Amino acid sequence: MGSSSDVVSSTIAKKWREHPPSSYSLKVDNFIQLEKFASTSDDKYQSRLFSSGGYNWKLLVYPKGNEKDNGKGFISMYVAIGSKSLTSAPQREVFAELIFFVYNKKEKKYLTIQDVEVNRFNALKTVWGLQQVLSSDSFNNPESGYVFEGDQCEFGVDVIVPSPRSNWEILSFNEKLRNPKFSWSVKKFSQLKEDKYISNTFSVGARKWVLWLYPKGGSGEDGKWLSLYLQSADSDKPKADEKILAQANLRVLDPLGSNHIEVKLNNWHVEQNLGWGRTRFLSLAELRKVYLDKEDALKVEIEFEVVSSTKYYPII
């Protein structure tokens, strides 16, 4: 017998399991008689219909193997979908994972054999399975434990039908933004008294934003720095579990040339963290020396490169 987990091919996996099959179990009291019966019934035994995942199925067991499918010398097992299940399916096809079981009395476990690829049942392919579940020599060997208490054995299957997709999201990155720039002139900068100033609300990438400016630095600073942040506007905050990516260049403009101070932003804005920027964006000493124009105004600019959007289904 194989180890607890061994791969027969690139998609066929075998392993031991204590839990019995949940979809269907076929217990046989006399395996020799099953072999004799199968020889008169196209070499297979068909179970009665059973239900799983909202569809009807049958378990097919070839006790001497399905010679037409290269199964000679093996136990072959298949699942067939009921014909009425296909006619009632809106898409006329059903996807299912199949796990086949063979009980081993010696191990007190089930040997499970699975093709990890999902099977597609439709009008052209109503039967899927494995032609070489277990070699006949291994199965019939009394020392192996598959046939026990005279001539008993047990086969089974789990038919797992994935539920229809009900939750998903579509994430997009808008790189062709209309009016990607926003400029803010903070007048009479040297006379500012408040700790924080907020720009007008502006829209980029179908989102609303504001800039936060701390003329004496943010919390914990020593009053020697300008702090500057991009923030989601209060009227357009991300919802619970929502996130918006913003890639942008945040600048303090040089009024006399091109020596702008720039910080690149590449951050996700979420409910718990709405703003991103730089606490020590620019020292106030350098700001007063270079970056105030003749009218004592400070010009701030942000230019967006990418703003993400996400559509969630269902909408919650």
pLDDT at residue 8 is higher than 50: no
Q: What is d(CA 292, CA 259) in angstroms, rounded to the nearest whole number?
A: 13
Q: Could you write out the DSSP letters of every residue in 140-154?
A: H-TTTSSSBTTTBEE
Find out whether the peptide bond into 180 is cis, omega within 30 degrees of 0: no
Token pair of 61 as six digits: 């067991």
Asked if residue 263 lies in contact with residue 226, where contact means CB atoms within 8 angstroms, the answer is: no
pLDDT at residue 124 is higher than 50: yes
Side-chain-side CA neighbours of 126 within 13 Å: the count stands at: 15
Name 13's bridge partners.
7, 114
Q: What share of the chain is helix, strand, coil (3-state, %, to 5)?
A: 10, 50, 40
Least confident of 41-45, 202-206, 211-215: 41-45
CATH class of domain segment(s) 169-313: mainly beta
Question: 286-302 burial string, b = 16+ CB within 10 Å, else e?
Answer: ebeeebbeeeeebbbbb
Token pair of 51 as six digits: 């239900």
Residue 221 confidence (pLDDT): 63
Span 5-160 CATH architecture:
Sandwich (2.60)
Q: What is d(CA 44, CA 267) in angstroms, rounded to the nearest whole number?
A: 62
Domain boundaries, the chain: 5-160, 169-313
Q: What is the pLDDT of residues 9-43, one digit of tens each?
A: 468 899 999 999 999 999 999 999 999 988 888 89
Does the CA dihedral 281-284-289-291 come out positive or negative? positive
Asked if residue 264 lies in contact with residue 278, where contact means CB atoms within 8 angstroms, the answer is: no
Token pair of 22 as six digits: 């949940």
Q: What is d(CA 248, CA 259) in angstroms, rounded to the nearest whole number?
A: 18
Asked if residue 233 lies in contact with residue 280, where contact means CB atoms within 8 angstroms, the answer is: no
Q: What is the pLDDT of residues 216-239, one digit of tens each?
A: 887 666 788 999 999 999 888 888
Same fold, 5-160 and 169-313: yes
**pTM, two decimal places:** 0.62
